[in-house]
Each structure stands twice: as structure tokens, then as C-alpha cells.
Amino acid sequence: MAISQNIIDESSIDRMDRKLLNVLQKDGRITNANLSDCVGLSPAACHQRVKRLQNDGIIQIYTAILDRRISGCSQSAFVHITLSSQDHDTIEAFEAEVVKCANIIECHLMTGDYDYLLHVIVRDATEYEQLHRNVLTSLPGVDHLTSSFALRAVCRTTEIPLKM
């Protein structure tokens, strides 16, 4: 999933929009009738607002969040990447290759001691070793990488806190 780089003005959404968004973050499959009941709007007004939020790019996508065990990829690793250069071509080449790897479920450009933080999911240490050897160390511009395995997730959410 590509991440939108559009700048959204927080003042473009009001209290009712925030109520709608909070409900939709918990249940993206809720019917318009139930959504309108939850927020106290008519179904027509509710539908119109949701469509506007979608068209404005505030609601970017609806998706199903799966239990990772269904894929067999229940192990998470976090990989700190340092590039050999910060020039535009190196960064562009690195990012273009990262998005091609299905095991990399998040990639963040960072400040601080390393350039990128990758969230990787794998079946086990053997699969990670292969990914490390065949993919991660071969990414364009990689100078150094450090990996850490997560023992367990303490909290994980896709909900963005919205102030009412």
C-alpha cells in the first residue's frame, strides 16, 4: 500500500467528521445506516460526508487486517539501515527496491543514527537469514544494517487518535 504524501489541513474536518472517522477506524465495514445511527446524522448526510472524506484523501483505503499466522509469517524483525550515501539517486534506488519486497511491511525514513527502519515479517530465523543474505544486504546503497527480533507485540493498532 502506497502512503499518500498529500498534505491535509486538519481544519478541513469538523467534530462530526471526527466522529465518523473514529467509528470507521473501528469498523470499516459498518453499514451507512448503522454509521449514521452511531453519529446522529441522517443516512444521506452521513453518506455525503464519508464520500467527501474519501475524495479528499482523508480516508485512503479500506482493508482487512489479518492474523499474521495465516501466512505463516508470525515473526517480526526491525531492521536499521544505514546507507552509503544520502544522495538523491541512492535514496530513490533504495526506496524503489524496498517496496518490491513482500516481507517488508513498513519502511520509514528516519532521523538519528540510521537512515531507515524496516519492519519485516518472516516465518522463522531461517527465512530471515535468507532474506538478510539475498535481499536486505543487496538493497541499493546499503552500507550497514542491524536487526532486532520482536519477542511479542505489547500494543498494535491502526487507529489514529482524533481529538474531538
The reply to whether 125 falls in a domain is yes
Q: Are residues 105 and 128 in the same domain?
A: yes
pLDDT in tens, 44-76: 999 999 999 999 999 999 999 888 889 899 999
What confidence category does residue 1 fall into, taking pLDDT thresholds of 50, 70 and 90? low
Q: Are residues 83 and 30 in the same domain?
A: no
- Residue 7 is predicted with a pLDDT of 58
d(CA 14, CA 10): 9
Least confident of 30-34, 61-65, 122-126: 61-65
Q: Are residues 83 and 41 in the same domain?
A: no
CATH, residue 108:
3.30.70.920
Q: Are residues 141 and 73 in the same domain?
A: yes
Q: Please check whether residue 7 is in contact with residue 56, taking contact to mean a CB–CB distance below 8 angstroms.
A: no
Q: Are residues 77 and 51 in the same domain?
A: no
Q: Are residues 101 and 144 in the same domain?
A: yes
Considering the chain, what is the average pLDDT of its residues? 93
Instruction: Give the range of the structural domain holding residue 97, as residue numbers without chain letter.
Output: 68-149
- Residue 110 is predicted with a pLDDT of 97
The reply to whether 154 falls in a domain is no
125 Cβ contact partners less than 8 Å away, ≥ 6 residues apart:
75, 149
The reply to whether 109 falls in a domain is yes
Q: Are residues 85 and 134 in the same domain?
A: yes
- Residue 67 is predicted with a pLDDT of 86
- Residue 5 is predicted with a pLDDT of 54
DSSP code of residue 65: P
